[in-house]
Chain A
Amino acid sequence: MLPQNDSRVAAATPAAAPGPLFPFVLQLADTSLILAHRLSEWCGHGPVLEQDLAMANIALDLLGEARSYYQYAAELEGQGRTEDDLAYLRSAVEYRNPLLVEQPNNDFAHTILRQFLFDNFHYHLLKALLTCPDTQLAAIAEKSVKEASYHLKWSSEWVIRLGDGTPESRQRLEKAIATLWRFGEELTTATPSEKALQELGVLPDYATLLPAMQAHTAYVFAEATLPLPGPVFGQQGGKTGRHTEHLGYLLSELQYMQRTYPGLTW
């Protein structure tokens, strides 16, 4: 089925192929699912009960958002696949999440920094999608942007606490920055599908999101008494299906039941 609420998208979408919207919506779905999965690995093992709850909460929000995207992607594709088919029966090379979100939890500092980098992009993207001509994406953004603003507040506060906490917390955060900063750039680097949607006016040019993202990062790092990281060699590939080794293991766990018992209802 074609997206019918915007004639420009429909016009650019040949009837036989799903067009650029399908891979993009799938990318959003994969991204939220993989990060939710990672956060859910903390469940029962958090540093303090309140933060265990907070991480489960964020995971639940992202999982809910992922489901909305998968359902929409399935509808766009129009081949009878369900949200579960898309999540459970695609291989790692078919997954479209950016490399950042599949990175392991490591310690709490890594989890926080991964979340901060993602939230800062996610929140600003959703804000821009509120006025998206594709009404379905706009509706999902409307539902998710408030949650994303809480996520960003939470991860920003923790970056500040860890940076301006103890020597150990600062050192751990610096290590997380050294490991994860290089995955940030992929978030705002458009893939061919994203470029096509930007040209159609469905997606904002990511350059327009950068000033607000950078201003927020500068504020948080100043509060955390941390120097802003300099330029790094960015790692990219997840959004086009080239992942780190971590994703395969994550998917083998995520997809275990569906792969072991094909075609059953749970």
Chain B
Amino acid sequence: MNEVYQKIVDIIVDAKGIDPDTIHYSSTFKDLNVDSLDIAEMTMTLEDEFGITIELEEGVNTVEDLVNLIVKRLKA
């Protein structure tokens, strides 16, 4: 789970150029200025990274939502 979280943080930092310390589990993508296009891009990267398929229609609003979604897929 920590690995997934860290990867998401890395991607956000890389894409948006923000300080990693400002990102938390509870951060909403809206607050991080991560829009739906960023999320689409990010999930494509995460899919490649973890060898999974992520459907985006599942109400992903926070970093924690995305971590949970990926962990669920990894277990599936």
A and B assemble together = no
B residues sitting closer than 8 Å to A (CB atoms) are none
